[in-house]
Amino acid sequence: MTNNNDELIEQIRRLKKETKAIILSHNYQLGEVQDIADFVGDSLELSQKAAKTDADVIVFCGVHFMAETVSILCPHKTVLLPDMHAGCPLANMITPQRLLEKKTEYPQAIVMCYINSSAAVKAESDICCTSANTVRLVQKVPLGKEILFVPDQYLGSFAAAETGREMILWPGYCPTHVRIQPQDILRLRTEHPHAKVVAHPECRTEVTALADAVLSTGGMIRFARESEAKEIIIGTEIGILHRLRKENPGKSFIPVSEQAVCPRMKLITLETILWSLESMEHQVKVPEETRLRAKRAVDRMLEVL
């Protein structure tokens, strides 16, 4: 007997073949979305995968800035975001206009933008970074050069502390990661004394200070695989637990907070993926002038590392 999901999955697979599409899923997506994807990863891994694929259509299961990053790197492919409301509140905490105003206050500063930003903000930035490489990129900026870091204040202050650099921080934050509280880590450490704690750098400073390792989602996936720890406490959006548990059946993963759910990520479902493939909607295409300028910032990140 087939259930609804089996039928949906079959239809998605058939349409995927007919339209020469590939499905990419971020680590924070619903489990059933991750399971149907051709590749699951963080936004940079997904963009790199997209750049290499010979598929004509990329169904991007994540949030809008991620689909834009794919469009920046793959201008000739059709990039579909199954729900146009899947935006990122952190990315929306800065606009290109406000960044331009800030740049006039710090005309000598290098503008480093977290990948969680719109293509238009990337176009006004000198270099892009991800949660996996911010610290290394900050280290490469010549000493004495000011760094204006946008839009995530917590990732910025983590990189500043790790490198000993003073940075000008935009006051943005991820509403999901700030739900992760230090007292929850302290309680879980008492309940699981042998567990390791990993936290995402978008978490509050008081949270990252309590972690054994501060890692991007890709870093957490590798940490889980390589660590001897049998119990790992996870301080990030809980969608990643699906993949961690699937890939490491002998280990136990404990979320710091069940409240750490990004509602926008969860807008993508099997139904919306099917609709997207049927209608070839919603297409995300960055205008060429913006794309070329945004690509410079992304390319610089890739060149420096």
Residues that bind ligand CIZ (CB under 6 A): 26-27, 42-44, 115-116, 130-131, 200, 216-218
Q: How far is the CB of 26 from ligand CIZ (least distance, A)?
A: 6
Q: In the complex, which residue's CB is closest to ligand CIZ? A: 42
In the bound state with ligand CIZ, the residue whose beta carbon lies nearer, of 90 and 277, is: 90
Q: How far is the CB of 177 from ligand CIZ (least distance, A)?
A: 9
In the bound state with ligand CIZ, the residue whose beta carbon lies nearer, of 8 and 120, is: 120
In the bound state with ligand CIZ, the residue whose beta carbon lies nearer, of 115 and 203, is: 115
Q: Give the DSSP per-residue string, 265-289.
A: GGG--HHHHHHHHHHT--B----HH
Q: How far is the CB of 82 from ligand CIZ (least distance, A)?
A: 17
Q: How far is the CB of 19 from ligand CIZ (least distance, A)?
A: 25
- Look at phi and psi of residue 20 and say left if phi exceeds 0, alpha if psi is from -120 to 50, else beta: left
In the bound state with ligand CIZ, the residue whose beta carbon lies nearer, of 8 and 59, is: 59
Q: How many CA atoms lie within 13 A of 300 on its CB side?
A: 24
Q: Are 196 and 231 in contact (CB under 8 A)?
A: yes
Q: How far is the CB of 76 from ligand CIZ (least distance, A)?
A: 23
Q: How far is the CB of 140 from ligand CIZ (least distance, A)?
A: 19
In the bound state with ligand CIZ, the residue whose beta carbon lies nearer, of 195 and 214, is: 214
CA distance 121 to 98: 9
CA distance 276 to 208: 38
In the bound state with ligand CIZ, the residue whose beta carbon lies nearer, of 176 and 181, is: 176
In the bound state with ligand CIZ, the residue whose beta carbon lies nearer, of 48 and 53, is: 48
Cβ count within 10 A of residue 43: 27
- Asked whether the CA dihedral 274, 278, 282, 286 is positive or negative, the reply is positive
CA distance 217 to 223: 10
DSSP, res 152: B
| Sheet with 231-235, edge to edge strand ranges | 213-214, 196-199, 231-235, 252-255
- Helix (H) / strand (E) containing 24: strand 21-26
Nearest to 96 by CA among 303, 285, 297: 297
Q: How far is the CB of 43 from ligand CIZ (least distance, A)?
A: 3
In the bound state with ligand CIZ, the residue whose beta carbon lies nearer, of 77 and 200, is: 200
- For the chain, the residue count is 305
